[in-house]
């Protein structure tokens, strides 16, 4: 029986607005770098420069946001003032948008009696910005990479979560928007479903139907 549903946060519960980079720059920086970022959105920039493995230390809580920005600027040649500004904008509450269908699913599962958890790769600055906006009544607990020093798909973070929450993998379903993050949990005997950001409504319906059908088939 599935008793526990574990959600990733970024890309599953929270989305990043793909607003124009240039629209966020102060006039001086826009004049200086406007051509460079013409047509580029916040989400495009984030996945092009701020992930790709560079964020691992930041997400593990090992480096500050200032040092992270410096390392990205050094490695990519991006202007430090731009990298720092984008980091701030990503973590600003006006840029945090929750996926409505996901929140609807979470409430539905919570009200039905399932234990809801969050397991996410996330830096401390984003955690502080996001956590205060979520309805904590729906969640039994949350674990973030910056608090435990491991990131998905490191096996250690799944083991840490199962141990802390005192739950079994075979009684739990993990939902993530990166397939590589599902593999270790599946190997442990857990259930997993890939979250398709391009087909959110169908994916949330699929998740609910999977849980209900599986539990009905395994009653008693």
The whole-number pLDDT of residue 92 equals 63
**Mean pLDDT along residues 49-68:** 75
**CA 200 – CA 104 distance, rounded (Å):** 12
Q: Which long-range contacts (C-beta less than 8 Å, at least 24 apart) are formed by 167-170?
A: 167/3, 167/4, 167/115
**CA 45 – CA 55 distance, rounded (Å):** 14
Specify the pTM. 0.84
Q: Which of 68-77, 147-156, 202-211 has the lowest mean pLDDT?
A: 68-77
Q: Residue written as tokens 């599935």?
A: 2
User: In whole angstroms, what separates CA 196 from the centre of its chain?
Assistant: 13
Q: Which of 57-66, 109-118, 195-204, 207-216 has the lowest mean pLDDT?
A: 57-66
In order of their start, the domains of the chain are: 4-14+96-217 (3.40.50.1000), 16-95 (no CATH)
pLDDT band at 151 (very low <50, low <70, confident <90, very high): very high
pLDDT in tens, 154-196: 999 999 999 999 999 999 999 999 999 999 999 999 999 999 9
Neighbours of 124 (CB within 10 A): 17
């Amino acid at each position: 029986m599935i008793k526990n549903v574990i959600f990733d946060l970024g890309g599953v519960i929270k989305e990043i607005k793909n607003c124009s980079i240039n629209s966020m720059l102060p006039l001086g920086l826009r004049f200086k770098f406007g051509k460079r970022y013409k047509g580029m959105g916040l989400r495009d920039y984030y996945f092009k420069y701020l992930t790709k493995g560079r964020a691992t230390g930041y997400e593990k809580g090992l480096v500050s946001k200032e040092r992270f920005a410096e390392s990205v600027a050094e490695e990519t040649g991006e202007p430090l003032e731009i990298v720092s500004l984008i980091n701030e904008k990503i973590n600003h509450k006006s840029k945090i948008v929750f996926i409505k269908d996901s929140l609807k699913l979470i409430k539905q599962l919570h009200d039905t009696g399932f234990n809801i958890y969050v397991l996410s790769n996330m830096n401390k600055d984003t955690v502080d910005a996001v956590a205060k906006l979520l309805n904590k009544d729906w969640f039994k607990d949350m674990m973030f990479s910056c608090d435990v020093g491991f990131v998905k798909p490191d096996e250690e973070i799944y083991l840490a979560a199962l141990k802390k929450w005192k739950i079994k993998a075979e009684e739990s379903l993990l939902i993530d928007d990166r397939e590589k993050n599902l593999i270790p949990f599946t190997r442990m005997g857990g259930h997993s479903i890939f979250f398709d950001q391009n087909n959110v409504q169908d994916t949330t319906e699929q998740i609910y139907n999977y849980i209900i059908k599986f539990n009905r088939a395994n009653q008693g």
